[in-house]
Amino acid sequence: MPQSQQPPSERLSGSVERVTFHSPESGFCVLRVKVRGERELITVVGSAASVTPGEYLQAEGGWVNDRQHGLQFKATGLRIIPPSTLDGIERYLGSGMVKGIGPHFARKLVRAFGERVFEVIEDNPERLLELDGIGPKRQKRVTEAWAEQKVIREIMVFLQSHGVGTARAVRIYKTYGEQSVERVRENPYRLALDIHGIGFKTADTIAARLGIPHDSPIRAQAGVRHVLQEIAGEGHCAAWHETLVEQSCALLEIPEPIIQEAIRTELAEERLIAEPIEDRPALFLAPLQRAEIGVARGLERLQLDPPPWGRIDVEKALPWVEAQTGLELSESQRAAVATAVSGKVTIITGGPGVGKTTVVNGILRILRAKGVEVLLCTPTGRAAKRLSESTGGEARTIHRLLEFDPQVMGFKRDQYSPLDTDLLVVDEVSMVDLVLMNQLLRAVPTRAALLLVGDVDQLPSVGPGAVLADLIGSGAVPTVRLTEIFRQAAASRIVVNAHRINAGRMPEPPDAARPDSDFYLIRCDTPEDIHDRLMRVVTERIPSRFGLDPVRDVQVLTPMNRGGLGSRALNVALQGALNPDAQPRIERFGWTYAPGDKVIQLVNDYDKEVFNGDIGRIRSIDIEEGLLTIDFDGRQVVYETGELDEVALAYATSVHKAQGSEYPAVVIPLATQHFTLLQRNLLYTAVTRGKRLVVLIAQPKALGMAVKQTGSSKRLTKLRWRLMEERA
């Protein structure tokens, strides 16, 4: 707007009656304010780190006539002051801002202590016990929440004064506590390392505002580390030296010599480790290099001794197990059982319908008859549940098995306190990343045997590494690949088409003569057609034709998060179609949530025992207390609203997030706009997630690309060579 059109600057003050809108990310707010001398409430638009009804506001700015919303006061500066009138104090305390105080207790507090109520909570909290209904427990909760709220507001004001959104203030407080502002001032780049949801760019913005020079060593080091972490975030354990330099120069826009010096400093401080891969210079984050060495040495150590159960006569054991189960094993299954009962470390791999479960059960039956102690584990809760059902033994997640302790952020089980077992069976090994595999192997006693089961053709783990592929590729671990599809599995078009895709062949559409297929291929010309068909298939066709619940039983799996067919846009559309009227609704971190919504956990939360990829349903939302209850497989878990950046809507999720899970029905959109992610192992993984029904809605060209493309996303690791060296 040219200078001549700027509204003349005025001052306005009054009490905030209603917060119509407030974005914790940007601070932008629309407020309804009671101004002395004005009969009607005034609309004030501006920016504030935090604002609560009942607070007093001082604004500077001017009047504008908005075409849509009428006359508003547009504030260039907003100052929020705690309320001083009794009515304002009551509304301020009753807004749910302080956990433990809702409207009812706010009224009580104001009646008892009047204008001194803030003073009482802060300086004489024992006086709260004078009130009816406030015991030591609630008093402690209120005073702690009050102190927390004060620090969180301080962080919010600090962040906003440096041009950064305030949505993560609660998480910053939870990480750094009382010293939050001090710690961030000292080194803003630690935010990008320590706080989920804050990236390097945000930390860089604060650093620039704090006057840290563009080419300072602290910025160069933080940038180099950030680039290497981003590369690790894509699954690589290392980066080529020249790639790291190139990407760091591009991100930081500073000369190469400064980047090279930053790398030298990081190497000297042992945060990075330089080591060639196939004679080419590469750089590792220190924990990943140590984890690779740990995995190679752990497997070597386990293979030194014979199995704890001694020698088993396989010629007798195989017919015995067939007689016990009433099943006839195929040649590859017999080989798998024989290898596992005769060896110390064994890998069994193969696709759907090849009888991996039958083999594992056969092995367990033989060994249990010998009195062998067995432990079963998997990377995810859902996979553990399936393994328990298929083997009749108790299966746990790896984190539970290793007894993760959130207090010290480490496992209780390790080489000093190993697992008590003769055999450890790990299922869904393709999902286990390098760091977790290292932790697991450390806890396996040298005398014990190890059986690793998984499908090497699926997507590799979300975390760094390609552990299963590297183990098999090294030749250092005896491996049996099951290939024969069993008769009952061959009747499933899901199984047949999964194997066709894995062999680089196009899936077959259902046979017109057999209308009740479990696999459907719908061809569409445009992304818009895919979107329309997908909405109809999920909300109408599958529920009416198959009697499946569109929220509970149907999972949309998409290759990417962004774009019209990404999980973000599809979630908004599906939420609008499947859960439009649920109340109350709450908006946080760019999502709107309501009871009944399906959500997915995005990070491991060890305190709550909820892990990346777990899917739940919102049971209730308590606006007053600022709490949500989410049901994860029958377990009720409570989240504060400030923790909702840990979850996202899950009507649609990325294929990566669905690893290790199975769903009654899966719907997969494939468009050429997804071209960078169209890989055979991605499509194969998506198709094998469906138990009763798979519907593929695709542009023919995109489907062709997905079936043909392999290997371009190969991960950079050194584990294969380390295993070969250990073996040699």
SS3 for 312-331, per residue? CCHHHHHHHHHHHHCCCCCH
305-485 is classed CATH 3.40.50.300:
yes
The reported pLDDT for the residue numbered 1 is 41
Does residue 690 have a known ligand-binding role? no
The reported pLDDT for the residue numbered 356 is 92
Plot region of 310 (φ>0 → left; ψ -120 to 50 → alpha; else → beta): left
Reduced 3-state DSSP string for 637-689: EEEEHHHHHHEEECCEEECHHHCCCCEEEEEEEECHHHHHHCCHHHHHHHHCC
Indicate whether 340 pLDDT > 90.
yes
Indicate whether 325 pLDDT > 60.
yes
Q: What is the rounded distance in angstroms from the CA atom of residue 413 to the CA atom of residue 440?
A: 9
The strand pairing partners of 32, in sequence order, are: 18, 43
- 292-301, 331-340, 379-388, 422-431: lowest mean pLDDT where? 379-388
The reported pLDDT for the residue numbered 522 is 93
DSSP string, 471-519: HHHHT-S-EEEE-PPPHHHHT-HHHHHHHHHHTT-PPPPPPTT----SE
| % pLDDT > 70, the chain | 96
Rounded mean pLDDT, 256-282: 95
**Residue 352 in tokens:** 């759907």
Q: What is the rounded distance in angstroms from the CA atom of residue 98 to the CA atom of residue 278?
A: 58
Q: What is the rounded distance in angstroms from the CA atom of residue 356 to the CA atom of residue 428?
A: 11
Contact predicate 405/378, CB 8 Å: no
**Residue 584 in tokens:** 């109350």
For the chain, give the longest Cα–Cα distance. 98
The reported pLDDT for the residue numbered 8 is 60
Rounded mean pLDDT, 194-208: 84
Rounded mean pLDDT, 143-161: 77
More confident of the two residues 28 and 522:
522
CATH code assigned to 10-133: 2.40.50
The reported pLDDT for the residue numbered 4 is 41
Which DSSP symbol is given to 593? E
Contact predicate 302/310, CB 8 Å: no
- Residue 466 CA: distances (Å) to CA of 77, 405, 460: 52, 26, 6
- Residue 20 CA: distances (Å) to CA of 16, 33, 46, 51: 10, 10, 12, 11
Q: What is the rounded distance in angstroms from the CA atom of residue 684 to the CA atom of residue 687?
A: 5
Question: Looking at this protein, which amino acid is placed at residue 405?
Answer: D
Rounded mean pLDDT, 11-39: 85
395-397 vs 591-593, strand pairing mode: unpaired
Rounded mean pLDDT, 237-259: 95
Residue 423: count other Cβ atoms within 10 Å of its Cβ: 24
Indicate whether 468 pLDDT > 90.
yes
Contact predicate 499/492, CB 8 Å: no
Nearest alpha-carbon partner for 667 in 557, 572, 576: 557
The reported pLDDT for the residue numbered 713 is 66
CATH code assigned to 492-587+644-708: 3.40.50.300
Reduced 3-state DSSP string for 19-69: EEEECCCCCEEEEEEECCCCCCCEEEEEECCCCCCCCEEEEEEEEEEECCC
Question: Looking at this protein, which amino acid is placed at residue 613?
Answer: G
Residue 365 buriedness (CB in 10 A; 0-12 / 13-18 / 19+): middle
- Domain parsing of the chain, residue ranges: 10-133, 166-210, 217-289, 305-485, 492-587+644-708
The reported pLDDT for the residue numbered 687 is 95
Q: What is the rounded distance in angstroms from the CA atom of residue 105 to the CA atom of residue 132?
A: 10
Q: To the nearest whole number, what is the mean pLDDT of the chain?
A: 88
Rounded mean pLDDT, 645-673: 90
The reported pLDDT for the residue numbered 515 is 64
Does residue 76 have a known ligand-binding role? no
Label residue 46 by pLDDT band (50, 70, 90): confident
Q: CA 580, 584, 590 angle in degrees (round to 5)?
A: 75
The reported pLDDT for the residue numbered 281 is 96
More confident of the two residues 433 and 150:
433
Which DSSP symbol is given to 537? I
Does residue 613 have a known ligand-binding role? no
- Residue 98 CA: distances (Å) to CA of 320, 362, 468: 67, 58, 49
Domain 305-485 and domain 492-587+644-708 have a common topology: yes
Q: What is the rounded distance in angstroms from the CA atom of residue 153 to the CA atom of residue 162?
A: 14
Label residue 55 by pLDDT band (50, 70, 90): confident
User: Which run of H or E residues covers position 70?
Assistant: strand 70-81
The reported pLDDT for the residue numbered 728 is 66
Give 29's contacts (C-beta < 8 A, 6+ positions apart).
19, 20, 21, 22, 23, 45, 46, 47, 48, 51, 78
More confident of the two residues 168 and 191:
191
Does residue 446 have a known ligand-binding role? no
Label residue 712 by pLDDT band (50, 70, 90): low
Nearest alpha-carbon partner for 346 in 180, 175, 191, 481: 481
The strand pairing partners of 19, in sequence order, are: 31
Return the CATH fold of 217-289.
Arc Repressor Mutant, subunit A (1.10.10)
Alpha helices in 354-456 (DSSP H): 356-369, 381-391, 398-401, 434-442
Rounded mean pLDDT, 92-100: 72
Tally the C-alpha atoms within 13 A of residue 370's C-alpha that lie toward its C-beta.
20
The strand pairing partners of 554, in sequence order, are: 665
Plot region of 296 (φ>0 → left; ψ -120 to 50 → alpha; else → beta): alpha
Rounded mean pLDDT, 251-265: 95
Indicate whether 3 pLDDT > 50.
no
Rounded mean pLDDT, 93-101: 72
More confident of the two residues 587 and 164:
587
The reported pLDDT for the residue numbered 97 is 67
**Residue 179 in tokens:** 């010293």
Label residue 673 by pLDDT band (50, 70, 90): confident
Nearest alpha-carbon partner for 444 in 423, 475, 461: 423
Q: What is the rounded distance in angstroms from the CA atom of residue 80 to the CA atom of residue 71?
A: 22
Does residue 355 have a known ligand-binding role? yes
The reported pLDDT for the residue numbered 177 is 80
Q: Which of 319-328, 463-472, 484-493, 557-566: highest mean pLDDT?
A: 463-472
